[in-house]
Structure 1
């Protein structure tokens, strides 16, 4: 196999020799389990600036700005509706929502269905709005409880669920909503649309692009550019394109510059390049770049060589008469001459490095679309073999390949899924499993793909072999769980009660999920509340001691979780933003510290967290004292004395002494609750 050398992303990943072709990854002893979760999460969360520079501000590389389940933040609602433009059928949908308390909007992603759903609900209620999991069934919708006066959104119902829908089931959902006084807007991408079942199911379309533009950029159009602007607006298909155009124009870009980034123009540029009939190497280079975006020249050239080798096997190139004795191919001239490729500089540990990316991040998706439209099965077989070879070559390749697959999934998820299934099962070793997790995380960051990623991870978690179940669970511990925390918590709890079915320690993923939610500003409290409910349901002397132990271990993992980038303890950061939840956190700490098998590790974690506060805050002693006071309120006098004694004994054994922060905690623990 052609030698490949790694192209580090956020930081240099070691010497080039560490990235040379490894032995068959299926024979490697390395395992993908709880012992190596740290690098997985660190490399994904820790290189956001790299992802933005390489992958751009659109597509799977961009974090969705909203959580996909749970209560919709008021700020998010205001942002979505600030410049909202009503589509043509909005008033019809609003009328039916008032009458039936449910309406279904059908149309493809990117046309503003979510903002339309929020706007419709705000037409009928000023109360709280909640997002439901796309995996909920009509049967569940017709039996669940709703809060009277509140609004609910169910976005992107999967097509496989819609195929089995019946009019009767929809009527049951409508009747349930009417009985409980709630409102529901559902969106789906199925082309099925009708309005005669008692539940309105409307074909949705994007609002007029010019109205969207004028809502955000109200200045008079330049007379000499009005015609070209009108032509550009006529080609816009997605709301985000019109919004981006308005943003660029408002920032002072010329019309020509601003319209140059429109999806329709980028699609045309890519199609025109392919129409010129580029040679085999040029096509292979662009295909390789789609799965190694951000690589340096050596890495891209070597990756292209691997793809060409597999193409020679799957799609042999007929010999060209007179080609013998030709000079050495000047591969790097291809990069200079290709209008779809540009060079950038990316930061590294030791400064910066050169990298090759698409001229516009939007070109990436259209290159993959053109390849999928034009190339036959043999080409894709060769590409699959190439990806199997390069994914095992280091962290950069795991992530770049995963990102490429996420982009490819927007064109043909059915072509991507077999590879992800193969890798998730461990058939390419731990590298393939990590790449499968990364791919689901990238898909979760694209509103058009997140529901598919949720379905895939759920299926793996519940039905796969132990290795695949662990991969699915790991996906829920990161970006996918941040998008769908309710699904994530339910899946992780189910698997944690069946540890024999996976190859890793699932309780660690509760901690990763909590840390990810805190890092992203998501609903981290939901994780704590879920574990609080489990601890209350399974008391220390109850009938299910094994579930009590599971709940305590998961809680301990949450309290010991740290942020992947700052290293700060996640529960401390959580309390920064939710100081009124100190009692909840203290109750969880009490359950962990009173559970003897977790006592020593709990004390060790608390001491480390307190010392970490000292590195990240000015004077953390008041916070340490507050935590100690809240903790002491959960313990009786005997428990408090025993905990204080064990804490001091632990410090004595370590020989580190009692610092001022720990002393503040211990001082609060000396207060007897009965004296308060």
Structure 2
């Protein structure tokens, strides 16, 4: 097992797929017959249209347009949500390592941890989130080796670590790992890992949350703690402004909350260094908002008032009618669950007063604010919290105060809201709230929401919502490993719908944070599936997502190239070709442009790799026609938005000419020109098929000819 393939073993294919698509079937991206479907999950089937529905919803919330600049490969002017995330696996860059080491203050266990790592080559750091385990691990690894440092998947098992191929002088890091210590051979596995790492001349640091589970004495384990606050503040402030603001440190320390993470403390130090008063800088901790929410909950409130706050917590800001509809539904569900209990409201005979609930909904004592927005043609009444911080604080208070009957009602209510056919409730807002709830009780979210929703039991809308929750969890450094482990479990041990839900999640922020694992998971679904075009489309969508991030899309391209040319994977060559042509044909849902051409604009150094993949699809007879169509679609993208499309087309043609054997270049040029002519006739007869300009096609053809001169 090599570093490149360390996570592949989770998705090992035992036998060839019995239902793989016949080699003569065209690509699902270009086969219109594959796009049929009623939109209803039936017998485990998911349609291409459903995948496109999810992609459009995700794109609207996370992706920004990617613009071409002058039509040349190598420049872009827009960013996407995916580009702001940090990859959680793979090799750490020099800048990441330098950032971790910069102004680092060693906590008390650091010296002993260094000695143990230096002698045994493997240690475990454990402790709650926010104490600096990741930074400490990076600094420790750099202290013992000048070689590359690579972060492995948090879903990696002890068995995989014991078989992993470690490189000499390399450092390896597993963040927030979870291992089943109940197995009989656990101690043997740990000893095997220690022996393998030490024999390889490598170093391995694992981190995990504090746990009562056992780790053998042969593995040095350290309870990691935060460094001294006074020393941290002095070091961080001194780094920016010397001793100018040292007199503010005492005020900061006095006002710190009981529990905090180092990242927030650093933010306070940076704001003070810029001259901000301590009381303002400390707003990072939302202390005043926390006090306001706690005081509200400490006061007596009616059931309706509690549920008003609950409704806004989980539905997010929304129109007044949508809010009240959701509230009434929650009141009905909770009332049914509490019926007959001592908490059920007693009827009041003779009371015929029509309640005026809106009068107190957003009064001066409420956490809720009613505003009127004029951003649309018709002014719209919107309900939101008076302070954005109230939302996650209120969810935390609800979890701390309410019992299982309340949360059973919330689960039933949210499932009904997500399944609502008229789209009255925003699944993205619900996913946001559940990711916040996961901070307090991750098991509640996984077991009561994600597991049933992902299984297809509650319909396609709930499957999409489950994927969105995993996406939101992936945006949190602390919860991202949980999201990955859930997706892996669904893909390897779940039913058909759960495998599809895992695939959906891989096309979101989960894939941006864990690109290698997402690509391997989707390939696992392809090779172990029934040949459904859905799985190929999901892998293409992962490429689209990764093409917007600084790095990551190359993972998909490299994996497919390896699968196509590897003699040991010959039985999957057609599957790899079908996946390649789907990627080449994929469009960015937001811009409606060729995703691979936009990728080349952002990453010109990948043009040779892309050309090789195009060559594989062109030379593989079952996918040749689809590959030619994808190429013409891409050239149409250049023709429509690039200032100088001919130069860009010539660049790609040159790369293709180098990848295609000389004896096949003339045949390729003939097929491209023939299909271009045919499409021109279809366009003139009313076809909606995109058509590149003749000059752009001739520019690519000229590059093919130039290679023969």
Would you call these one fold, judging by a TM-score over 0.5?
yes
Aligned to 2:228: 208
Task: Tell me if structure 1 keeps the 8 A contact 2:84–2:549.
Answer: no
**Among candidates 83, 87, 95, match of residue 75 of structure 1:** 95
1:380 aligns with 2:407: yes
Task: Tell me if structure 2 keeps the 8 A contact 1:193–1:203.
Answer: no
Measure how far apart 1:245 and its partner are. 2.0
Measure how far apart 1:590 and its partner are. 0.5
Aligned to 1:231: 254
Listed as ranges, the matches of 1:418-567 within 5 Å are 418-500=448-530, 505-537=534-566, 544=571, 547-567=572-592
1:368 aligns with 2:369: no
1:35 aligns with 2:49: yes
**Which runs of 5 or more residues in structure 2 are unaligned?**
1-38, 65-80, 681-690
1:124 aligns with 2:151: no
**Among candidates 97, 115, 134, match of residue 95 of structure 1:** 115
2-structure distance, mates of 1:426, 1:229: 50
Aligned to 1:5: none
Measure how far apart 1:256 and its partner are. 2.4
Deviations 1:45-79 (A, max 9, x none): 432499xxxxxxxxxx9997321111123333333
**Among candidates 315, 328, 331, match of residue 355 of structure 2:** 328
Change (3 A) 1:672 1:224: closer
Measure how far apart 1:363 and its partner are. 3.6
Deviations 1:332-389 (A, max 9, x none): 6423435644567889787996644444544433322322222122211211121122
Measure how far apart 1:104 and its partner are. 0.8
2-structure distance, mates of 1:653, 1:75: 52
Measure how far apart 1:242 and its partner are. 0.7
Deviations 1:87-136 (A, max 9, x none): 22222222222222221110112222112211111212222111101122
Aligned to 1:399: 428
Of structures 1 and 2, the one scoring higher in RCO (CA 8 A, sep 6+) is 2
Task: Tell me if structure 2 keeps the 8 A contact 1:69–1:484.
Answer: yes
**Which runs of 5 or more residues in structure 1 are unaligned?**
1-24, 51-60
**Among candidates 598, 601, 608, match of residue 626 of structure 2:** 601
Larger mean CA deviation between 216-225 and 238-247 belongs to 216-225
Measure how far apart 1:251 and its partner are. 4.8
Measure how far apart 1:163 and its partner are. 7.3
Change (3 A) 1:86 1:433: same
Task: Tell me if structure 1 keeps the 8 A contact 2:124–2:207.
Answer: yes
Change (3 A) 1:62 1:600: closer
Aligned to 2:30: none
Larger mean CA deviation between 613-622 and 191-200 belongs to 191-200
Deviations 1:440-493 (A, max 9, x none): 111111122111111211111122222221111221222212222222222211
Measure how far apart 1:154 and its partner are. 0.4
Aligned to 1:570: 595
2-structure distance, mates of 1:396, 1:89: 49
Listed as ranges, the matches of 1:66-215 within 5 Å are 66-158=86-178, 160=180, 166-192=186-212, 197-215=217-235
Aligned to 1:11: none
1-structure distance, mates of 2:424, 2:606: 38
Listed as ranges, the matches of 1:636-675 within 5 Å are 636-655=661-680, 658-673=693-708, 675=709
How many residue pairs end up in the alignment? 635
SS of the residue 2:196 aligns to: helix
Measure how far apart 1:147 and its partner are. 1.9
Deviations 1:231-279 (A, max 9, x none): 2236342112212323443455433233234156554443332111222
SS of the residue 2:314 aligns to: coil
1:583 aligns with 2:608: yes
2-structure distance, mates of 1:643, 1:320: 81
TM-score, length basis structure 1: 0.85
Change (3 A) 1:172 1:196: closer
Measure how far apart 1:647 and its partner are. 1.0
Change (3 A) 1:619 1:336: farther
Deviations 1:496-521 (A, max 9, x none): 013328x7621112111112112122
Change (3 A) 1:67 1:361: farther
SS of the residue 1:202 aligns to: strand
Change (3 A) 1:307 1:616: same
SS of the residue 1:46 aligns to: helix
Task: Tell me if structure 1 keeps the 8 A contact 2:237–2:246.
Answer: no
Task: Tell me if structure 2 keeps the 8 A contact 1:392–1:428.
Answer: yes
Task: Tell me if structure 2 keeps the 8 A contact 1:364–1:407.
Answer: no
Aligned to 2:23: none
Larger mean CA deviation between 622-631 and 135-144 belongs to 135-144
Change (3 A) 1:179 1:378: same
Task: Tell me if structure 1 keeps the 8 A contact 2:181–2:214.
Answer: no
The RMSD of aligned alpha carbons is 3.3
Task: Tell me if structure 2 keeps the 8 A contact 1:482–1:516.
Answer: yes
SS of the residue 1:103 aligns to: strand
2-structure distance, mates of 1:657, 1:570: 16
1:314 aligns with 2:337: yes
Measure how far apart 1:86 and its partner are. 2.7
Task: Tell me if structure 1 keeps the 8 A contact 2:62–2:82.
Answer: no
Change (3 A) 1:229 1:524: same
1-structure distance, mates of 2:176, 2:212: 14
2-structure distance, mates of 1:425, 1:322: 46
Change (3 A) 1:390 1:195: closer
SS of the residue 1:500 aligns to: coil
1-structure distance, mates of 2:371, 2:55: 26
Larger mean CA deviation between 211-220 and 286-295 belongs to 211-220
Change (3 A) 1:538 1:171: closer
1-structure distance, mates of 2:519, 2:695: 37
Deviations 1:188-214 (A, max 9, x none): 013349998232110012233343333
Change (3 A) 1:616 1:206: farther
Task: Tell me if structure 2 keeps the 8 A contact 1:193–1:201.
Answer: no
